[in-house]
Every structure is written in structure tokens, then in C-alpha cells.
Amino acid sequence: DGGITQSPKYLFRKEGQNVTLSCEQNLNHDAMYWYRQDPGQGLRLIYYSQIVNDFQKGDIAEGYSVSREKKESFPLTVTSAQKNPTAFYLCASSAGVSSYEQYFGPGTRLTVT
């Protein structure tokens, strides 16, 4: 089945630790995105990547880092510099610049204590 997978579904970390969230897609999509959702707020864009080995900051990139070494994979690292890391994280992909429909993964809920 084609789709986007995110693992794990729930993640717990101690404050001060970096943590990496996985996102994999087998849709052969060029573009991938990371969003964050906080209670009562819309999805906010953290980072996006249009092609392999290239990525751009979104609206709230501070305290996060990404890599795009393979087309299928776009991992997000939440660093200890992120002041409020506890949130729900969604990954998405789209066919590319010429296609504006995004497909979403099931999300990862990160809790940092």
C-alpha cells in the first residue's frame, strides 16, 4: 500500500535530550513537510523539502533540524534548544511544486518531561 508512515506513534523523552521523529513515504513524492500541532491551534509548518539534499525553514523552525538524504525519508530532530517540544507532529508529502495536494502520515505525539 502506498502511503506515509511515522514512527513511533507516542514518544517520551526527558528534557535536554535530542529526539528524532521518523517519516517515510513510498509515494515517490518529491516534496515533504513537517508540521506541529498544539491544542486549539492549526498546523504550523516547521520545515519542508522540495527535493533530495535540499530543505527550507518553515514558520517555526527554531529548535528543530531535518535532513533529506533519500527521497523516501525526511527525519525531524527535536533538539534540546526547542523550548516547548511537547506537541503532536505530522509529516506530509506532495508530488512536487506542480502538485499542491498534500498527503499526511498518522502523526507522532511527543511528550517531554
Partner 1 sequence: ILNVEQSPQSLHVQEGDSTNFTCSFPSSNFYALHWYRWETAKSPEALFVMTLNGDEKKKGRISATLNTKEGYSYLYIKGSQPEDSATYLCASTLIDNAGNMLTFGGGTRLMVKP
Positions in the binding site for partner 1 (CB under 8 A): 4, 31, 33, 35, 40-45, 48, 50, 56, 58-59, 90, 94, 97, 99-107
Sheet strands (E) in 26-86: 31-37, 44-49, 56-57, 64-66, 76-78
Q: How far is the CB of 15 from partner 1 (least distance, A)?
A: 27
Q: Which is nearer to partner 1, 13 or 109 (CB)?
A: 109
Give me the residue label for grid cell 517520551: 12
Q: How far is the CB of 98 from partner 1 (least distance, A)?
A: 9
Q: Which is nearer to partner 1, 25 or 82 (CB)?
A: 25
Rounded CA separation 22/15 (Å):
19
Q: Which is nearer to partner 1, 80 or 104 (CB)?
A: 104
Residues 6+ apart with CB under 8 A from 2: 26, 27
